[in-house]
Chain A
């Protein structure tokens, strides 16, 4: 099945409208969205190649846990259990302000909202920041 899915470029802050060209569940190409108020059917070199990093063979595909200095593929349950237990231990021992959370200028609003909520309500710290200054 062939689909065109409207979305937004995830490189710089301009926010150009793109169309992802999808065939049978594979991301083929990125096209500029002709009617978009920001980019009016144009894209820069990064935007035209937006699909390439998505399809990269370098992408991570499984949670990794480091044992004796080497990474091993583990299940989500194992990775999250390990993380939750370690975090809880550190919070108990040193207090919530011994934890920092770096949210991201690359992820969605919903995710930023949830991650700062995680820091403030679940961990109990305002040590929340991101790469805005970089």
Chain B
């Protein structure tokens, strides 16, 4: 997030696009409702009529994968009506002329043809977002999990910059991170191209710095992303995989293809709390301590680094992940001897400029927002107040492109995926929780009442959903939240493994994110 969670309350407009906020981030949804109570206008754009849509001043259901067209259409109207922030554009940005030229073609009529959003709604949304400032924009995987994921993100940034909604309190472009420490995993260099603090492995200076600190020559060629690793596994180029706290066999696209790739491995090491689907196929399984059983820090979606404290002893013979990693490194001939998590934090902070001013003592209970470069720096609530990381903010003129798959005669439905309120990811943590299991014990396929009528299917009857990759079964959940011709499957259930249907070849060319949010599918009633 460019801004922090508390700031949402004081926005004059909140625009939610591609985020089922009340389900996936309930305590952020609370801030949105607070903002409404204080007089903010709420805009919600989502292919489903989600709970937040019912609270919205304007709610639209854009067709799956049509976000670029919708956002370009908003910018078209903002420019046509002179609602843009000319001072901000002049002082802080570049590339405005190209953007203007591109969005000129996105007339309300054309946007309606692509996205199904009416010109009247588009006009209302554009006016509210551009004229009620500060406006904050919230999004999640509904924006990113597309072959055009990067284009979608560029488009939301364009919209925020066009209206001067960056670098000001309660504004900004705010991706809500889905996992407790996904921000931290990225910050710590858990990516193929960067060291901690986004220092490029290919940059000779950064590489020399870490080579010196770690006492070993380090590779300078960026490595493989997760989808590339899976391709390399099926081609027999990647022989060993070390998986920590992750269940790719259920979470990654095209499960059947994935099974084949995993079978090719000579060594699969899985480090986890549970014997997940992925761990079951491992050669060796290392039992890890849970977050209640160790010290350390997490960095949340607003870049706030916070301490967790050990509450109880690790269960059985479990060890914290840092201790397992240290022991394994030592066994490999690279001695690591950290006495506690704090020692590792100090080593990391000394090498990572955005964390350099942090210490366990300073973090206390509330934590600190990065960047926090020095020991007397108070942390940074919102980014880019004076200039962007690269200097001027660049408008990227983006043309709309269809998702990789559109429905056809054989597969006439749109299929999309997401979370349920009581569950989390592949369910390894939530499905073993009695209270959460009682709330939502099974998966389902959500379908519009008209479609259910056509299929002569009643609530709870089993449907067979198929795509070019495979087929699964799931009980029908008939719901007016779905548009006709659209299906929704939650991602949490091994017995209705949604990712048998999704496409591992439809990736964003730059971010390599799979297009989980749009597949084509067929649906039939199960004939026994």
Contacts and interface: CB of A to CB of B under 8 A. Distances in A.
Contacts of B182: 13, 105, 130-132
Contacts of B318: 59-61
Contacts of A71: 285
Given A37-B366, A98-B240, A130-B226, A104 B300 contact: no
B273 A53 contact: yes
B178 A12 contact: yes
A127 B272 CA distance: 20
B43 to A, nearest CB: 21
A20 B218 contact: no
A50 B244 CA distance: 20
A51 to B, nearest CB: 7
B186 to A, nearest CB: 6
A52 B436 contact: yes
Interface in A46-82: 46-54, 56-66, 71, 76, 79-82
- A27, A61, A108 interface centre (most CB from chain B within 10 Å): A108
Nearest to B435: A49
Given A11-B424, A107-B181, A20 B311 contact: yes
Given A63-B286, A100-B240, A45 B311 contact: no
A108 B184 contact: yes
B105 interface: no
A78 B51 CA distance: 51
Contacts of A25: 312-313
A107 B219 contact: no
A121 to B, nearest CB: 4
B243 interface: yes
B284 A82 contact: yes
Interface in A1-53: 3, 5-17, 20, 22, 25-27, 33, 35-39, 42-53
Interface in A93-113: 94, 96-113
Contact of B223 (A13, A47, A49, A127): A127
A86 B290 CA distance: 27
Interface residues of A, number: 101
Contacts of B324: 80
Interface string B226-239: 11010011000111
B124 interface: no
Interface stretch (B22-30, B446-454, B456-464): B22-30
B422 A45 contact: yes
Given A86-B267, A114-B326, A100 B242 contact: yes
A105 to B, nearest CB: 4
Nearest to A106: B245
B246 A8 contact: no
A85 B272 CA distance: 21
Given A12-B178, A45-B436, A66-B284, A107 B421 contact: no
Contacts of A53: 273, 290, 429-430, 432-433
B478 interface: no
Contacts of B243: 102
A22 B311 contact: yes
Nearest to A58: B432
Interface stretch (B62-70, B77-85, B327-335, B403-411): B327-335
A101 B223 CA distance: 10
A32 B336 CA distance: 36
Contact of B180 (A12, A57, A133): A12
Interface string B269-299: 1001111000100111111101111101111
A38 to B, nearest CB: 6
A113 B326 CA distance: 11
Nearest to B223: A126
Contacts of A83: 267, 269, 284, 286, 328, 331
Contacts of A99: 238-242
Interface stretch (B93-101, B155-163, B188-196, B518-526): B188-196
Contact of B513 (A79, A117, A133): A133
A125 B272 contact: no
B341 interface: yes
Contacts of A109: 181, 184, 187-188, 296-299, 305, 345, 348
B88 interface: no
Contacts of B336: 114
Interface stretch (B106-114, B128-136, B208-216, B393-401): B208-216
Contacts of B198: none
Given A52-B436, A129-B226, 18 more contacts: A15-B298, A15-B301, A17-B365, A45-B435, A46-B436, A53-B429, A54-B291, A59-B315, A62-B317, A66-B283, A98-B237, A101-B241, A110-B345, A114-B321, A116-B196, A124-B216, A124-B218, A133-B511
Interface of A: 3, 5-17, 20, 22, 25-27, 33, 35-39, 42-54, 56-66, 71, 76, 79-84, 86-88, 90, 94, 96-134
22 contacts: A14-B300, A15-B304, A16-B27, A25-B313, A38-B302, A45-B435, A60-B273, A60-B274, A63-B285, A63-B286, A83-B286, A104-B244, A105-B185, A108-B296, A108-B308, A108-B322, A110-B348, A112-B184, A121-B216, A122-B332, A129-B229, A132-B179
Pick the 6 closest A-B CB pairs, nearest first: A15-B300, A61-B316, A108-B296, A13-B177, A126-B223, A104-B245
